[in-house]
Amino acid sequence: MNPRDPRWAEIDELQRGAVEQVRRRAEAFWREYERDRDQGVLAAWFVPRCWREIDYVFMLGEVIRRYGLGFERKHITALSRQLHDEAEHYEAVGRIIELLGGAVPVEPPASARVWSTFLWESLDRHRLGAIAAWNMSETAATGTLDGIVEAGRRYDLPEVVRVYEGIVKEERFHVGLGRLMIERYAVTDEDWDEVLRAMRGIAAIVLESHTAVEVPL
């Protein structure tokens, strides 16, 4: 697939818009946090983030199991590396939540359910469906990551800084891998219909999902 294909122009535009929206909403969250520095609210903010990490582990495992042998072996390896990264992110973001006095999610929190359901449906529909959807979602999330590191420095949360500096680096690999998989394996018009459906769909959902603060039960 030629990266200059006009379909990439639509994808790039969707991604640019999603990153910007998510960045603005994240900045608004930190301005709000600045006022009363409520650790419970901060813990709740990390809950949907934490859930997405473990949901990626489950989805990557399922993509590999169901579709992996249709990909080149090196791509099975790369997806497996991403799976391992996401498991470490779940562990590390879970540790941050516990440090802030919150509870690590072990089921989809209400604020991540629409996002999760859409990704799993996309996974069922086509071998590139989930990969396309999470590529959009992970790209959008980059709009919050640098802000989390900066906030961690500002509010003296060294674990947040350390963990998210690592996540920022690994997300570059994940976003690049998703794009590479689409370039390599989206061939027919049907493939492209499914890729664009997944990306447009999640772009509409992502703003809520990436800015939600889980209401503590």
Which residues lie near Fe ion (CB under 5 A)? 53, 86, 89, 174
The 10 Å Cβ neighbour count of residue 133 is 30
Cα-Cα-Cα-Cα dihedral sign, residues 110, 142, 31, 93: positive
- Residue linked to tokens 């006095």: 101
Confirm if 41 and 33 have CB atoms less than 8 A apart: yes
Supply the minimum distance, in Å, between the C-beta of residue 171 and Fe ion: 5
Of the two residues 67 and 134, which places its CB atom closer to Fe ion in the complex? 134
Q: Which is nearer to Fe ion, 86 or 191 (CB)?
A: 86
Of residues 53 and 194, the one with the C-beta less far from Fe ion? 53
Q: Give me the residue label for tokens 């919050």.
A: 144
Q: Closest approach of Cβ 139 to Fe ion, in Å?
A: 10
Identity of the residue, 108 or 192, whose beta carbon is nearer to Fe ion in the bound complex: 108
Q: Compute the least distance from the CB of residue 57 to Fe ion, in Å.
A: 9
Q: Which is nearer to Fe ion, 58 or 192 (CB)?
A: 58
Q: What's the min distance (Å) between Cβ of 122 and Fe ion? A: 16
Tell the residue number behind the tokens 């503590």, with chain if given.
216
Whole-angstrom Cα distance, residue 192 to residue 115? 21
For the stretch 156-189, what's the b/e string if a residue is b when 16 or more beta carbons lie within 10 angstroms of its beta carbon? Answer: ebeebbebbeebeebbeebbebbbebbeebbeee
Smallest separation, CB 176 to Fe ion (Å): 11
Closest CA to 175 of 146, 140, 151, 217: 140
Pick the closer one to Fe ion by CB: 9 or 167: 167
